[in-house]
Structure formats: C-alpha cells, structure tokens
Chains A and B, each alone.
Chain A
Amino acid sequence: MKKTGTTYSLTKHAVGKRGTTNARNGRQGQKRRGQKSSHLHQKKQALGKSRKNANRLNAKGSSETPRKDSPKRPKQSVRYLTEFVPVETIHREGPYDFLVQHAPYGIGIVQQGKLVLVNPTFAKMLGYRSASDIETKPITHFIEEGSQRSYQLLEQRKLRGEAIPSKFEMKMQRTDGSKVNVECSLSLCIYEGQPAVSVFVSDITDQKQLETRLVDSERLFRNVVNSMVDALVITDLQGKVLDVNEGFERLTGYQRREVFGMGIPYPWVPDEDLRSYIRWLERLRENSFLKDFDITWRRKDGSQIAVSMSTTLLRKTTGEPALMVNIARDISERQQAQRELSQQVQRLQVLYELSRALTETWDLHEIGVKTYQQVKRVIPVDAFFITLYEENKNVVRPIFVVESLNGQEGEHEQTATPIPLEEAPVIAKVVASHESMLEHGTNQKPLSSYFPFGSLPKPLSSLMYVPMFSKDRIIGVLSAQSSERNAYSADRLALLESIASVVAIAIEKVKLYRETIEKSQEIEARNKELDDFTYVVSHDLKEPLISVEGYVKILKDEYGETFDETGQQFLRSILDACTHMKRLIEDLLQLSRVGKLSEVKHEIDLNKLIAEVIQELQFSIQERKAQIVVAENLPKVVSAEPYVKVIFRNLISNALKFCDKAIPVVEVGVRPAESPIFFVRDNGIGIPPEYHEKIFLIFQRLHKREEYEGTGAGLTITKKIIEAHGGRIWVDSSPGMGSTFYFTLPSS
C-alpha cells in the first residue's frame, strides 16, 4: 500500500483565507481540486476500484449535492473535506507498497472509524500476526480506554479540516492486554474514493520509559535539593543566579522567581559584607571548594541571620569552570548555642571564682562584698542582701545589703542590727518553707520595707529569695532584686541557689573559724593565767623560804654552839628541806615559763647540744659508770637552744637515775621519718604500762624520794616544751625491760 503524490491542494495562503471567506473559498477550492483530482480518478479507475465511492466523494464534496444524501454528516464537514483533504492515490503494489510493508511505523487507514487497511508493523505493534487480523475492526478497539476519547476528538477535528497537533501520544491496547505507548500522527486521504484518515503510529515505549526516568530523576534531584535544610544558590561564573532551592527561600524569604537572574550585589548580602563576599568568591580561582565562611545574610524582611557558606566551583568535563554552587547554612542556632554555652561557662566561672574568693575570706561582711561582685556579673541586680538567721532569737541579721541606682551602688552601713522575723515577712516565709522564692511583676514593697534604711525610687518588681543551708538547718537568706520586670527566670534562680550554697559553706566556715579562734584564745588566756599564777605563787613561796634559810643560817652562826648534835642535825635537815623546796619552786617556775616560749629560734646541731648535755652530766655519768651512746649525724632541729637542752638533760638524767644495773647504758638516736622521731633508750627499771601517761603529770612520783631523788617535774617540763614546739612525746616501756622515750621536734 502506498500513498503517492500527496499534494495538498491548499497552500498556506489558502488556509489563511479559509476562515474569512467560507463559501466562496470552498467553491474555488472545489474547482481546483476538481482539476487535480481528475488525475487521481484516472489512477483509481486504473486500479479497478469502485468508481461509485469516488463518485460519492465527488457527490458529497459537491455543493449541489443535497444535504439529505448524507444526513449524518454535517454540511460543513463535507465542505471541508472537499476543500482540504489531500488527494492521494493508494497503490497496492510497486516499490511504495514495499516501503509501506517494511516501514518501522505502523501505518493504517481509518474509514468510518474502522481500520480498513494496515501494514504488518501496525499489526505486530499490537501483538497480531498479520494485518488481516485487525483490518475492518474499529480503531478504537485497539486504543486504550483512556486515550479513546482524545483520539476520537482529534480524528474528527482532522476530518473537519481543523488544525491538530502534528504528533500526539496515546496508549494502544495490545492483543495480550498490555499497553503500548505510541506516538501518533493523522493525515487525511481518499481511500476507495471515500475520505479516510491515515494513521501513523510509532512505538515509543522505550522512549517513554526513558523520559519517565529522566523526569523522575530530575524530580528526585529537585526534591533532594529542596529537602536540604541549607540554602543552595547556583550561579554562573559572574554570580548571576541560575537557581535556588526551597531552603534558600525559607532562609532568606526571597522567592525563586524573584532572585532568578540576579547578580552581585545580592540583596541578601549586606553592603558591609559585600567586599569580603567577593573576596571569598575570588578565592575560588585557587580552590575549587571553599568552606566555613561565616557571614551575615539579610532576609527580605530586613532581619539578619548568621550563615556559614561553602562554595564549590563546578567544571565541565573539559575542565573549564562552569557554575558556582553556594551552600549557606543557618548557624544562628549554633551561635545561640555557643552563646548559651559561654553563658554556662561564665556561670561556672563565677561559681568557681566565688568559691575561691570565699576560701580566703574570714569575715562575714567580706563574704557579702565578694558574693555581690560575682553575682552582678551574671544576674542583673538593683538590690542584693545576705542575712543570717538566728534561730534562737528568731531574728535575721543582715551582713551585707547593697542597692544600686543609675550605676551607683550604695551599701547600707548598719547591717549588724538584727531584725525580728515578723518584720521581714518574705524572709520569714522562706525560712518557714525552706524553699526559694521567685516573684515577678509584683509591685513588691522595696527592700527598705524589710530593712529600715535607704530606699529605691523604683519599685523592685523582680525578686529572688534563696535560703542558705548548713546541713538541713537554715542559716540565712540571700536575695537579689531588680526593678526590671521579669528580670529573673527559673534558670537564674537555680544559679542563685548554687551561689547561695557556696556562700553558706563560706559563712559556716567563717563561723567555725571564729569559734575556733575564740576557743583557742580562751584556752591561751587560761593557760597564760595559769602560768602567771604558777609564776606568782612560786615567787611568793620563795620569799618565806629565803627567810627560813636566812634564819637557819643565823641560828647556825649565832647559836650554833648552844645546839647539841641532834639540834645541829635538825638544822641541817631544815636546810635540806629548804633546798628541795627551792628546787620544786624552780621547776614550777621553769614550767610556767615554757608557756612563754618566745625565745629566738634557730637551727640547732643536736650532736653538739647533746655533747654539752653529757658534759654537764659528767659527774653523775662517771659516778654511775654509765655508757652514753649517741647516734651520729642527728638531724638539725629548729628551736630555742635552752629548751632543747632541758629535754635531753631531763631524759638522759632520768635514764641514769632510774637504773638498777651496774652499768647504765643510754642510747640516743633517731628513727628517720617525714618528721624525725628521736628516742632516748635506757636499760633501767622500766615503767609499768598503767603509768605511761601518769609519769608526765606534774610532781608525780612512782617511787619514794629516798629511793630516787627528784621533784617529779622533769618529765612534765619536758612534755610541755615538746608540745610547745608542736611535737609529742610518749614512752615504750615495761618493768625490768628498760624504757624508750620517743618524741618529735620540728626539724629544719
């Protein structure tokens, strides 16, 4: 089958005239067609096809033909046909037929809605074996339901001679039920002398799929780009905006269509940042990828937003730069987070610095000053106070009250005055509830209503009251107040609570410190009193003793001859008693003086000092034939020499004294330790454990004076000297096993 010599009778010019001059044009066209169609007629007749059809066409096309001949067709349609249908000759043989038979397109002729002639490609496309399978069937039979209506419309339009798209797509129904996407074009022709529509279809399933995939992938890509939180701006190399994503629209408030084609300067880059922005883009020459450029963008509404930009230079496959892709990330949240973080850090710092400052504070008022200094760094305050709660008196005692006005701070002075709790109802409430209070917007009475000194002109409308605890006991209330409305949040209250706990510890510490100082001063005073008493008493005791001794001396000198031997003996006994009494008194005096250990201290070479002591004790050492062994290189100690001498003299002479062995052996040494432990060891009579403490008490004697002479004050004096040095002394001993006295002294 073949269409030949398809020559349209109408030129474009003619078409243009058609609408305006209906009837006349029609007639003219008819005449022209008549001339040309004679040729067709001849051909058709030669093919032996029915002339009747051809005639009918002619009859229909003729204006003379009455309308009733073809009542189903509108008159106009007929007229158009006669006017516009291209004149075709269909060949069933010859080279054209070959071409048609083997064309890759489906070609069919539709007459009266039926496929009257198809090529094999048409049939195969629809899944049929040969053309004859589908010929004579309505074409709509092979068109998918959804496409039927539009096809019919287009066919009718074509038949009416109206303009239709040269190509359109539709779906056709295959014999197996599957669909095939086709591209279709329609043209008019005469078949068997009757007007017909020739249909050309080509399978575009593959193309369609490809297209779908392309569309899908492009849509996907755009969705991805749009789903980005970050703003994306694609520009050419001059910075002209080619595309932006929805993130950009969200971030800046500018619409995509508004910014398309915009160049530098962009309205979203503030003027002051423009220079650095351009410099940033210029750096792309060296690096194809730049990142972390923090810049401020201006939104369409004028507000500002912090962004961090990264820019990529995209290149063509040839390596030539093509596009700039800018991605801007909203970092205002990050900056906010950073601000919050630095706020937290500052708060921690405040707490740290406060606790450090308060560590060195030993005064309550100073605690107030230092606390206020730190508090105002992180909390806005127009008034601030710390009061201590005295439970037994039910009063609060302000230790620090400050108010500030227009940047000037005024501290109240009479802060020591206690205030009954009933006059400070808010504080009373905090004390009773053990809870912090945060009040807002209330036109609270200013601070001065609780503290009858000074006042602020502005009412304090934000107030925080925080209790301070020592264990579970309330020791005071700390308050920050501001004339600003809503100046305080739960956050700030929590901060003030942390501060209050630091302050509470410091206050407790100061209280304890004061108590300790008071107590130790008391003890010191009592000790001094005792020492003074001892001194005075021993002094007073000395005077009559001197008298007694004096009189005995006079008696001996003046009346000695009148005494017999017994009388003389008694006089000697009185003098002996006096001597002993004098030694007791001297010991007491010495003891009382140890408390006033104020002599200049210096480094003492113990080996030298002990050698001197041994020299002083030379007489009794020789008398007892004793051996004194002193360790070499004893550590140096820092003290007043006379006292250290007393220690060693007393211990060594005791060791010599309380010994029942033929040869007393005394060992003086040291046990190395962080603070060296000295010892004096003997092979003497030893001390029962129950007396290990008692021997250090004054005038405690374990033996009769006749057995071992001495006053019983030596060890007491020794102990007092050692303790005055901050050292201690103890004994390790048992009867018959000798004794070892250990003691510590401050070493250099």
Chain B
Amino acid sequence: MAFTTTALNIVIIEDNQDHARILKWAFDQNERRDRLTFFADPQMALNYIASAVRESIFKPDLILLDLNLPKIDGREVLRTLKSDDASKSIPVVVLSSSDREEDVQQAYFLGANTYISKSLLLNQLTPALKTVLDYWSSIAQLPSRKQTP
C-alpha cells in the first residue's frame, strides 16, 4: 500500500477549538506525517482551497468538514466544494455531532464522501481515520495522477 504512507494535504474545517485539538491529537496518534491545515472560518477555508487548487501548491487531498459552522453552514460549504469543478474531486469527510438519519442522508446527498459522527469520534476516530486515509489517499491520488501527465 504505497499510497497510505504518502503524506497527504488535509484541510480541516472546524470552528470548535476543542474538537480541532482533539482531532489533531487523534491524527498525532498515527505515525503518518500528513500536512494538516485547520480553518475555523469556512470562507477562509474555501478561499484557501480554491487558490491551492488553482496554483497547485499544497493541493488538498482530503477535506474534513464540520457541519456546525458559523457564518456559512457546513452544508453550504459542502455544496460549494462539490459544485466547483476544481474542488469537486477532492474527497470530503463530514464530521457531525448529529446522529440523525436525515442529517447523514442529506450530507451524502450534497456530495459527502464519508460521514463520521462526532459522538463516536473518540472511540472510532483513530480506526476510522485510518480507513478513510487508507482509502482516500489512494483515491485522492487519482486526480493528481491524471493531472501529472
């Protein structure tokens, strides 16, 4: 599994500092050396992603998106990401404190690639992250590989 060991550019959009810190801790638990970029402000995150994709510098391989965000709702962020040709190929993992079936379905409907409940975060984050990263690191390479030639 060559790709899993490759360090990924991961953008994390999370306004709750505590949650961001716990996430960071969880990432630190594995041996990977992924590049994590945290954003509390969704607009800044979108701007960053747009310019990163445009300039192909630190192009995100994976986005972790909290749905409960200030100013712009996480769902709106998701819709924007998935409607923009430049960013729609980047896998998005939705993090939410809601276990509601509707919320989960809505997230997938809007183009989320995975949905992880925050209540399960601590118990599951490490294995979940591992699965996601293993899986998405391989998939995430696809567009860049396409772009390479």
Chain A bound to chain B: yes
* Size category of the binding interface on chain B: 10 to 19
B18 interface contact, C-beta 8 A: yes
Cross-chain contact of A542 among B18, B119, B122 (Cβ < 8 A): B119
B97 interface contact, C-beta 8 A: yes
Q: Which residues of B contact A41 (CB under 8 A)?
A: none
Minimum Cβ distance to chain A for residue B122 (Å): 4
Q: A546 contacts B68, CB within 8 Å? A: no
Near A by CB (< 8 A), chain B positions 1-35 give 16, 18-19, 22, 25
Given contacts A542-B119, A582-B119, contact A550 B22 (CB under 8 A): yes
A408 and B99 alpha carbons, distance in the complex (Å)? 66
Given contacts A542-B119, A543-B68, contact A550 B18 (CB under 8 A): yes
B121 interface contact, C-beta 8 A: yes
Q: Which residues of B contact A554 (CB under 8 A)?
A: 22, 25
B79 interface contact, C-beta 8 A: no
Q: B98 contacts A546, CB within 8 Å? A: no
Q: A539 contacts B97, CB within 8 Å? A: yes
A485 interface contact, C-beta 8 A: no
Q: Which residues of A contact B25 (CB under 8 A)?
A: 550, 554
Q: B68 contacts A553, CB within 8 Å? A: no
Q: Which residues of A contact B99 (CB under 8 A)?
A: 586
Q: Which residues of A contact B19 (CB under 8 A)?
A: 543, 546-547, 550
Given contacts A547-B16, A551-B22, A554-B22, contact A539 B98 (CB under 8 A): yes
A177 interface contact, C-beta 8 A: no
A554 and B126 alpha carbons, distance in the complex (Å)? 12
A407 interface contact, C-beta 8 A: no
A551 and B17 alpha carbons, distance in the complex (Å)? 12
Q: A542 contacts B22, CB within 8 Å? A: no
Q: B22 contacts A547, CB within 8 Å? A: yes
Q: B68 contacts A539, CB within 8 Å? A: yes
B82 interface contact, C-beta 8 A: no
Q: B16 contacts A542, CB within 8 Å? A: no
Q: Which residues of B contact A183 (CB under 8 A)?
A: none
A550 and B25 alpha carbons, distance in the complex (Å)? 10
Given contacts A547-B16, A547-B19, A550-B19, contact A542 B97 (CB under 8 A): yes
Q: Mark B100-127, 1 if CB is under 8 A from A, else 0.
A: 1000000000000000001101100000
A532 interface contact, C-beta 8 A: no
Q: A550 contacts B122, CB within 8 Å? A: yes
Minimum Cβ distance to chain B for residue A662 (Å): 37
* Size category of the binding interface on chain A: 10 to 19
Q: A551 contacts B18, CB within 8 Å? A: yes
Minimum Cβ distance to chain B for residue A556 (Å): 10
A667 interface contact, C-beta 8 A: no
A74 interface contact, C-beta 8 A: no
Q: Which residues of B contact A582 (CB under 8 A)?
A: 119
Q: Which residues of B contact A589 (CB under 8 A)?
A: 100
Q: Which residues of A contact B98 (CB under 8 A)?
A: 539, 542
Q: A543 contacts B97, CB within 8 Å? A: yes
A549 interface contact, C-beta 8 A: yes
Near B by CB (< 8 A), chain A positions 661-695 give none
Near B by CB (< 8 A), chain A positions 500-555 give 539, 542-544, 546-547, 549-551, 553-554
Q: B18 contacts A547, CB within 8 Å? A: yes
Q: Mark B116-149, 1 if CB is under 8 A from A, else 0.
A: 0011011000000000000000000000000000
Q: B18 contacts A544, CB within 8 Å? A: yes
Q: B16 contacts A543, CB within 8 Å? A: yes
A549 and B18 alpha carbons, distance in the complex (Å)? 11
Q: A550 contacts B121, CB within 8 Å? A: yes
Q: Which residues of B contact A539 (CB under 8 A)?
A: 68, 97-98
Q: Which residues of B contact A546 (CB under 8 A)?
A: 18-19, 97, 118-119, 121
Minimum Cβ distance to chain B for residue A355 (Å): 47
Q: A549 contacts B122, CB within 8 Å? A: yes
A544 and B68 alpha carbons, distance in the complex (Å)? 13
A547 and B25 alpha carbons, distance in the complex (Å)? 12
A553 and B123 alpha carbons, distance in the complex (Å)? 9
6 cross-chain pairs, A with B, having the tightest CB-CB distances, nearest first: A547-B18, A550-B22, A553-B122, A542-B97, A546-B118, A550-B122
Listed in ascending order, the chain B residues whose CB lies under 8 Å from chain A are 16, 18-19, 22, 25, 68, 97-100, 118-119, 121-122
A-B contact sample (13 more), CB < 8 A, given A542-B118, A547-B16, A550-B122: A542-B98, A542-B119, A543-B19, A543-B68, A543-B118, A544-B18, A546-B18, A546-B118, A547-B22, A550-B19, A550-B22, A550-B25, A553-B22
